[in-house]
Amino acid sequence: MAYTAQLNKNVSVRTLKTLKLKGEKFVTVALYDAPMAAMAQRCGVQVVLVGDSLGMTVLGYDSTIPVTMEQMIYHVEAVARGNSKSLIIGDLPFMTYATPEQAMTNAARIMQAGANMVKLEGGSWLAETVNMLSERGIPVCAHLGLTPQSVNKFGGFRVQGREQEQAKKMARDARVLADAGADLLVLECVPSELAAKITKNISIPTVGIGAGQDTDAQVLVINDILGLTETPPRFSKNFLVDAADIPSALQQFVEDVRERRFPEVQHTFD
């Protein structure tokens, strides 16, 4: 098939900030191997997330908590071999950034494996860590809302930010993390109105997943895009069901995000 949205040059942190300023949506896909990474590049996916979600989507765990640094490095290396133009984000897994010093050591390992940015889950308590990483040249993607590494604390996979105090805290955390030097912010399973407010009030781009239409970008896991998830989450969509093949499904996701056709109302939370 013809690829209509191939990347012509490398995507950088500056690229994403420019897109936010222009009001242009960008596309993120969570994936874990070289062939899918290469396809994402050909389909025009600007950001590839090697998420610790691989624990559930690839390794068969029931949460992200068992995922190790060695597993993350293995998959980041694979993705980096397949994709030279998309910006690659690598997750730091559970309890590998409990202190700034630990975060520095493990962030360096992920970057050396081929990531262009590291992702951390948590609120304003991470400000010192984000600042330390940023000052030393390591781009950081923060992650608020439903943070899967905290699933035991939340009591399950639940929408976050519906209560007024919780929403205020999330908005404060977003500003603190941006001010500390974060370059990107993932908002997962957040009411669409709150996600829109956060996106408007911080200078760094936001990436939504179950966070409404008004974030600067959207992300889905490749398994959800291709209908491989046995019980798909509400915010996901199977793009393969109406596509001729896998590349067509991925391209449809790219086009629907950019043209603001995805997410629709049924994929969001109030």
Count of C-beta atoms within a 10 Å radius of residue 135: 10
For residue 148, what pLDDT is reported?
A: 81
- Pick out the chain residues at pLDDT < 50: none
DSSP category for residue 39: H
For residue 2, what pLDDT is reported?
A: 53
Least Cα distance to 143 among 130, 156, 154, 153 occurs for 130
CA gap 167, 156 in Å, rounded: 18
For residue 159, what pLDDT is reported?
A: 80
Per-domain boundaries in the chain: 13-267
Residue 141 belongs to what H/E stretch?
A: strand 140-145
CA gap 262, 146 in Å, rounded: 20
Contacts for 177 with CB less than 8 Å, ≥ 6 apart: 123, 124, 126, 127, 130, 142, 144, 185
Q: Determine which one of 70, 101, 188, 230 is catalytic.
A: 188
186-232 per-position pLDDT tens digit: 999 999 999 999 999 999 999 999 999 999 999 999 999 999 999 99
Global confidence as pTM: 0.95
Bridge partners, 47 (sequence order): 28, 87
Q: What are phi and psi of 205, to 5 degrees?
A: -65, 150
For residue 157, what pLDDT is reported?
A: 59
Q: What are phi and psi of 187, to 5 degrees?
A: -115, 115
For residue 149, what pLDDT is reported?
A: 84
Q: What architecture is the 13-267 domain classified under in CATH? A: Alpha-Beta Barrel (3.20)
Whether 121 is a known active-site residue: answer no
For residue 6, what pLDDT is reported?
A: 77
Bridge partners, 208 (sequence order): 187, 218
For residue 4, what pLDDT is reported?
A: 59
